[in-house]
Structure 1
């Protein structure tokens, strides 16, 4: 009877060791899954943040381009007006500049 009790204790100990080993393996698997899930959530959050950032930048660029459009158009018109100025007006402008320089510096 004592031998049977010892055998029963050994079986119980082996079964307990097996349960502990299974629990350890299962705990490691749970930790690995949690790490993978956390990484996925991190990268998903990062991707969403980048997407929102890009949208904000695009919107800001569109607004800036819209505000700059009239200024650019005015500058283009003015430069075209200067390029298309008649030769007579150009000559008059040159004479005016030369006269002012001569008046400032005397008989240069």
Structure 2
């Protein structure tokens, strides 16, 4: 009977060793899967961050372009106003110059 008990104990020990080996293998696989998943999540986060930065840059460029167009329109408007003012003063300037020329040549 004691041989039977020893065999049973040995069998139980072997089964326990097998369970430990399987547990270690499972733990390693879980760790490898977790590392792979972490790398995948990190890669996805980087891609999303890159896409978001592209979107922000694109939006900023559109806003900047709109501001440039607004400034250009304002500058064009101011140029037209200056030109109109200059055209109004042109007749008076021509008459002033002609008057001075006539005065200078009239006294000769």
**2:65 counterpart residue number:** 51
Q: Which runs of 5 or more structure 1 residues have no equivalent in the other structure?
A: 92-108
Q: Which moved more, 1:74-83 or 1:9-18?
A: 74-83
**2:102 counterpart residue number:** 87
Give the TM-score of the pair, scaled to structure 1. 0.71
**2:28 counterpart residue number:** 14
Answer 1 or 2: higher relative contact order, Cα 8 Å, separation at least 6. 1
Q: Number of aligned pairs?
A: 92
Give the TM-score of the pair, scaled to structure 2. 0.71
In the TM superposition, structure 1's runs of 4+ consecutive aligned residues that sit over 3 Å from their partners are: 88-91
Across the aligned residues of Structure 1 and Structure 2, the Cα RMSD in angstroms comes to 2.2
- The one of 49, 56, 79 aligned to 1:35: 49
Q: Which runs of 5 or more structure 2 residues have no equivalent in the other structure?
A: 1-14
CA radius of gyration, larger in: 2
What's the CA shift string for 1:65-103, capped at 9, x where partnerless? 333332110112211211111534898xxxxxxxxxxxx
